[in-house]
Every structure is written in structure tokens, then in C-alpha cells.
Amino acid sequence: MEITNVMEYEKIAKEKLPKMVYDYYASGAEDQWTLQENRNAFSRILFRPRILIDVSKIDVSTTVLGFNISMPIMIAPTAMQKMAHPDGELATARATSAAGTIMTLSSWATCSVEEVASTGPGIRFFQLYVYKDRNVVIQLVKRAEEAGFKAIALTVDTPRLGRRESDIKNRFALPRGLTLKNFEGLDLGKIDKTNDSGLASYVAGQVDQSLSWKDIKWLQSITSLPILVKGVITAEDARIAVEYGAAGIIVSNHGARQLDYVPATIVALEEVVKAVEGRIPVFLDGGVRRGTDVFKALALGASGVFVSSFIIYT
């Protein structure tokens, strides 16, 4: 099959991946209204093209937090990639580096920060949840720093995991032989570390539901890395993020996997951009499938977009 656009990978994935794995990657929360709206909202935005402009030389390179990248398209954190391919996040790291852009590694990855760093040079961010045991957070951040990661993408929209009904029906569990590699070797207290799925369930259950804005300041006290606040969709929260010293904002609804019936990110983008008034960069993820989607986000004020990596068996 000749692939002409990224949407066509969905059909291949559905054919090749186990149903439990495909559903985990593809599904959203509850009625999945926001999952569809993330895409539908892009289709409602139209261009007003101007003509007779010299476009013979185009340069799409840009800078993000001072780092030069080849294009305003970066890789968003995508968990447990070895469920889809044995190379998992290592393949994503190599591809992102070759493309000259930024990879964000999920803290729930099936390859560790050290393993990703071992693939060679590249600009990499580390996605972080804040856990009840702050010592776990400190250990994760320290390892990311030592592995050469350049920023922390703090996910703030997950006080509890969204209700994804496909996962419930499939009784989702991390396949045997895979584990959340970033948590290996950490002091996690009393847990059966020989049970891979048990580790995944434990880690998910340790996300701190009391997370608040003051924890941004605490995180800044333990790391010198810039902190992007990932999960902002309102002007009110955007202004607070600026006040608390965020280095940037990622307008995100967690790929519609957390809370259903929230606005599509492209709909929320403009009010967030207006609220920050250029003081920090604003990025977007969710629903991006074509170059025209990227252009629409840039036109509405985004400094760049993040897209999920989706690895297909070959």
C-alpha cells in the first residue's frame, strides 16, 4: 500500500496491532466527543490566500526555547511504544534526531531516559507527572537532567486517569515482558517489581491529585531545566502559568484521553495566545494530521505543534 498521508497509517495499525494495543493508542475518554472534535475543529478553519507572493524560497526552521529545529513540528509524549514495535521509543528518538526536531519522552515509556540518550545526539524533553512521593519526582528529574534532556513538560491535566471504555472492556494491561523503564531502579516503596503490569498500575495510582500551582515553584527549586506546562486550555490558567514562571505552555487536552467534552485544542489556542501576550511561547497538540493543520495553528499564534509518534510493525 502506498502511503500518501498520515491518516492511512490508522488502517494499517488496526490490521497489524493486537486489539488491546490499538484501542489503547486510538481511543479517547467516555463518548470520545473531544477525540472527534480535535479533528473536526481544524476542518472548520478556512484560509484566505493572498496571491502573487514570491514563495520560491521557503524556510520552515525555527527555534524552541533557544534550540534550533528544522520545522515547527515536534514529537509529543506517547506512552509504552514497545507495545507497537520492539524498538519502541528508541526508533522515535533516532527518527526525530534525523529530522532535526524535538522528541518528548513519556515518563511512562518502555525505554528509559538513559536508553534514549544512548541513541545519539538530539534535543529531547522529558514529560513528567507529579507523584505523591516527591522523592520519585526528584529521582526522575535528576535522571533526565543527567541524560541530557533539555526541558520538562509537566502534565497538569491528569489528577486521575480518564475513563477510556475500550481499555475497561479489553482489561488493558502492559503486555508481558514490558515495563515502565524509567521507574526501574527507583525507590518506590513496597511493591512487587517482578509484576510488570503491577508496576504500571502502581505508578498510575501514584499521580498526585493534590497537585496545584505551588508545585510549579517546587519543581523549579529542584531543577534548572525550563518547565513547559502541558494541559492548559483556558486564558485564566494561561495567565497563571506565566505568573508562576512557566517557560512555555502546551495547549493540550491530553489527546482527548482524560476529560471528554472539553474544547478542541485548536479552538482553545487563540484565547491562550491572547492571554500570554507574547511573554512565553505557546504550543499545541491534538488533532494535527496535515501540514495545513500546522499552518492553521501557526496562524492562530502557536510557536509550534507536537504530534504523537505512532509506531507500526514492519
- In the set 230, 254, 257, 296, the catalytic residue is 254
Q: How far apart are CA 28 and CA 254, in angstroms?
A: 9
126: which 3 cell numbers?
Answer: 522529558
* CB contact at 8 A, 98 and 129: no
Strands (E), 129-210: 151-155
164: which 3 cell numbers?
Answer: 477510556
Residue 254: active-site member: yes
Q: How far apart are CA 159 and CA 157, in angstroms?
A: 6
Which of 187, 197, 9 shows the shortest CA–CA distance to 85? 9
Cα angle: 59, vertex 63, 69; to 5 degrees: 65
Q: How far apart are CA 115 and CA 119, in angstroms?
A: 7
H/E segment holding residue 284 = strand 282-285
Contacts of 275 by beta carbon, 8 Å cutoff, 6+ apart: 235, 236, 238, 239, 242
How big is the chain by its Cα radius of gyration, in Å?
19
* CB contact at 8 A, 311 and 92: yes
Cα angle: 127, vertex 134, 232; to 5 degrees: 40
Please list the active-site residues.
254
